[in-house]
Amino acid sequence: MDDLILGMTGFEWAYFGAALAAIGGGIGSAIGITSISNTATGIIAEDSEKFGKVLPLAAMPGTQGIYGFITALLVFIFFGFFGGEADVTAHEGLRIFFSCMPVAFLCLVSGIYQGATAVGAAGMVARRDEDAGKALIFPALVETYAVFSLIVTILMLLFIAG
Amino acid sequence: MTRLRVIADPKRYGFAVGRVRVLETNLLGPMTFERLLDARDFDRQRRILADTVYAGYLEGASTPDDVEQALDASLVDLYEDFLEHANLPGPIVAYFRVRHDFENLKARLKAEALGIPVDGLLTPLGSVSPEVFAGPADRLPSGVREAETRIRTALADEDGNLPPDEVEAAVDREMFTSLSAIAHQSGSRFVRHLMSLEADLGNVRAFVRSRIRGVPVADVEPALVSGGTIRTSTFVTLYRLPVEEGIARIAALPPLRRIEPEVLADPARLDVAIDALVAREVRIHRVTSIGPDPVVGYVLARRAEVTALKTVIIGTFSRVPVERLRERVREVA
A1 assigned to some structural domain: no
Shortest CA distance from B15: residue in chain A: A42
The pLDDT of residue B331: 64
Q: CB distance from B82 to chain A under 8 Å?
A: no
B28-46: average pLDDT: 92
Q: Is residue A93 part of a domain?
A: yes
Position B333 pLDDT exceeds 60:
no
Confidence (pLDDT) at B119: 83
Asked if B16's CB is within 8 angstroms of A46's CB, the reply is no
- How far away is chain A from the Cα of B3, in angstroms, using its nearest Cα? 10
Which residues, at least 6 apart from B263, have a Cβ–Cβ distance to it below 8 Å? B269, B270, B273
pLDDT tens digits for B82-94? 988 888 888 989 9
Measured over all CA atoms, what is the biggest interatomic distance in chain A, rounded to whole angstroms?
63
Whether residue A49 is contained in a domain is answered as yes
- Set of chain B residues whose Cβ sits within 8 Å of the Cβ of A47: 22
Is the CB of B17 less than 8 angstroms away from the CB of A35? no
A116 vs B contacts (CB less than 8 Å): 6, 10, 289-290
A120 within a domain of the structure (yes/no): yes
Contact predicate B228/B250, CB 8 Å: no
What confidence tier does B332 reach under pLDDT thresholds 50, 70, 90? low
Cβ–Cβ contact B20 with A under 8 A: yes
Q: How many domains does chain A have?
A: 1
At residue B2, the pLDDT reads 54
Q: Indicate the pTM of the whole model.
A: 0.85
* A122 chain-B contacts, CB cut-off 8 A: 18, 21
Q: Is the pLDDT of residue B148 over 90?
A: yes
In this structure, the number of other CB atoms found within 10 A of the CB of residue B19 comes to: 25
* Low-confidence spans in chain A with pLDDT less than 50: none
Please name the residues in contact with A131: beta carbons below 8 A apart, sequence gap of 6 or more: A124, A125
Q: Is A5 part of a structural domain of the chain?
A: no
Higher pLDDT, B272 or B236: B236
Q: What is the mean pLDDT of residues B172-193?
A: 90
Mean pLDDT of chain B: 88
Across residues B8-34, what is the average pLDDT? Answer: 91
- pLDDT score, position B244: 85
Q: What is the CATH number of the domain that holds A102?
A: 1.20.120.610
CB contact under 8 A, B14 and A42: yes
First to last CA, chain A: 19
Cα-based distances in Å from A155 to A10, A12, A71, B157: 19, 21, 11, 87
Mean pLDDT of B215-228: 86
Give me the sign of the Cα torsion angle B60, B62, B65, B71. Answer: positive
Question: What pairs with residue A5 in β-bridges?
Answer: A8
pLDDT class of B8 with cuts at 50, 70, 90: confident
What's the pLDDT at B171?
Answer: 92
pLDDT at A2: 61
Tell me if A48 is assigned to some domain: yes
- Overall average pLDDT of the B7-24 stretch: 90
A3 domain-assigned: no
pLDDT band, residue B187 (cuts 50/70/90): confident
Q: Give the gap in angstroms from C-alpha A74 to the nearest C-alpha of chain B.
A: 30
Give me the half-sphere count of Cα atoms (radius 13 Å) on the Cβ side of residue B97: 21
Has residue B210 got a pLDDT over 80?
yes
Alpha helices by DSSP H, listed for chain B, are 2-23, 30-39, 42-48, 55-58, 64-77, 90-114, 142-155, 164-186, 189-213, 217-220, 232-239, 243-251, 261-264, 267-286, 292-317, 322-330
pLDDT band at B108 (very low <50, low <70, confident <90, very high): very high
Domain extent for A39: 10-161
Q: Would residue A126 count as lying in a domain?
A: yes
B280-294 pLDDT per residue, tens: 888 888 888 888 889
d(C-alpha B315, C-alpha A113), whole Å: 49
